[in-house]
Amino acid sequence: MTMELMDLIIEGEKEALQQTMEELQPYDMYLIYHKLPDKHQTKLLAMLELEQIAKLLMEMEPDQQMKVLIKLGAGKAGAVLDLMDNDDIAALLTSLPPDKVKGFLSLMKQEESLIVKKMMDYPPDTAGRLMTNRFVWIPEHYTVRETVDKLKYFAEITETFNYMYVVDSGRKLKGVISYRDLILHDEDEKIAHIMFTRVISVSVTTDQEMVARLIERYDFLSMPVVDEEDKLVGIVTVDDVIDVVIREASEDIAKLSASGKDITFETKATVAAYRRLPWLILLLFIGLVSGTIISSFEETIERVVALTFFMPMIAGMTGNTGTQSLAVVVRGLTTRTIDRKTVVRLVLREFRVALMIGVICGLLISLIAFFWKGSMVLGFVVGSSLFLTLIFGTLAGTVIPLILYRFNIDPAVASGPLITTLNDILSLFIYFGIATMFLTQLM
């Protein structure tokens, strides 16, 4: 396959190449392009139709898109940009420094660049940034026949996803019909009679996560977007929503592991280190707090060195149970809305979980400590400490993200390592505190 293509590229068989590319899915076209050596990439770009280049670009990440646009040169780049979906252009421009954005917009047709400029005014991660304006709207006074005619007329340049949205003379959203409705009804039927009127829409400023949640719940294929005056200005399609869902999940994981945003396989080492370092340095200082706690119990430790053997286990377990609870809470919060009742029930549930885990692990470690070191008091100190730290650790992993959520701070930021490190400190206090109380019996 790629061999044939290589021949076509090398021999400059422009038409045959365009034909072959036309039959490929855009993603497969991208895979082929990606694997080509640099000089063949340039040659391929010179041979493709503008529309094919636009499709190819829309499969790429911003940095790859930039390389292609530079290869194309200003004139051709502008023509290709005009053919790209405006949400893809907005995504590309968002990643550029502000002074370069202007240059790019000036390459495009004024009509197209105005639309993109307007999209860029909406806050990041909103429906306004995600929507496409290449869709067909249907006036409510149309008949089925007129609708089909309009669809035929715009077939080449619009995305349609099963549904078409119906508007009144002021372009206000009034209803929705599907291709299926058009096929099932008589040609002379009025759209106003057959459309579904309880249409659910979002505003240009609706958060993209909310859009994703609505599309997921209602099993929609697209969602109409209206502006401040309730006018239909775009549609968000389900394929963009899948990308949002994947990106949001990756962000949750990145935050939970405190690895900072946007580190992929392609990120440069210096950039990745720069993004990870602030968290690590913060955690280093928090770790030193643990050190000062230990240091304040220096006397206890000097007298019973055996206490240090159980220290990593207790600190580790407190962190582990906290992380477990945190994961349940963070993931729960992204997939459902919660009310006071849910919160109370959740915290009580986690408390009961903590009690059970605490009793079982506490008893287990008491026995181990007793048989290993032969001291019942040590068994009691270690067991009761683990029991208490597991309860506090579990509750910290539950309550902290809920509080952050309440104050509109992303709970995933209460990241795993942060809660782990906080639980470290807590557990050392409890462990050495109890040990100090029983110091004379331990010695």
Q: Please, what is the minimum distance in Å from the beta carbon of residue 331 to its own copies?
A: 5
Nearer to its own copies, 106 or 308 (CB): 308
| Burial zone of 80 (CB within 10 Å; 0-12 exposed, 13-18 middle, 19+ buried) | buried
Q: Please, what is the minimum distance in Å from the beta carbon of residue 395 to its own copies?
A: 13
Nearer to its own copies, 106 or 342 (CB): 342
* Sheet (strand 222-226) strand order: 202-203, 222-226, 232-237
In three-state secondary structure terms, 166 is: strand
Helix axes 376-406, 340-373, angle to 10 degrees: 160
Q: Please, what is the minimum distance in Å from the beta carbon of residue 157 to its own copies?
A: 13
DSSP string covering 260-282: -S---TTS-HHHHHHHHHHHHHH
Which residue in this structure is represented by tokens 């008491």? 366
Q: Please, what is the minimum distance in Å from the beta carbon of residue 59 to its own copies?
A: 8
Q: Please, what is the minimum distance in Å from the beta carbon of residue 98 to its own copies?
A: 28
Nearer to its own copies, 113 or 143 (CB): 143
Q: Please, what is the minimum distance in Å from the beta carbon of residue 150 to its own copies?
A: 11
β-bridge partners, 138: 166
Nearer to its own copies, 102 or 336 (CB): 336
Q: Which two tokens stand for residue 414?
A: 């209460």
Nearer to its own copies, 155 or 409 (CB): 155
Q: Please, what is the minimum distance in Å from the beta carbon of residue 29 to its own copies?
A: 11
Nearer to its own copies, 6 or 24 (CB): 24
Nearer to its own copies, 79 or 286 (CB): 286
Nearer to its own copies, 8 or 390 (CB): 390
Q: Please, what is the minimum distance in Å from the beta carbon of residue 107 to its own copies?
A: 26
Nearer to its own copies, 286 or 434 (CB): 286
Nearer to its own copies, 41 or 250 (CB): 250
Q: Please, what is the minimum distance in Å from the beta carbon of residue 54 to its own copies?
A: 15
Q: Please, what is the minimum distance in Å from the beta carbon of residue 299 to its own copies?
A: 9
If you ran DSSP here, which 8-state letter would residue 232 be given?
E
Nearer to its own copies, 78 or 417 (CB): 417
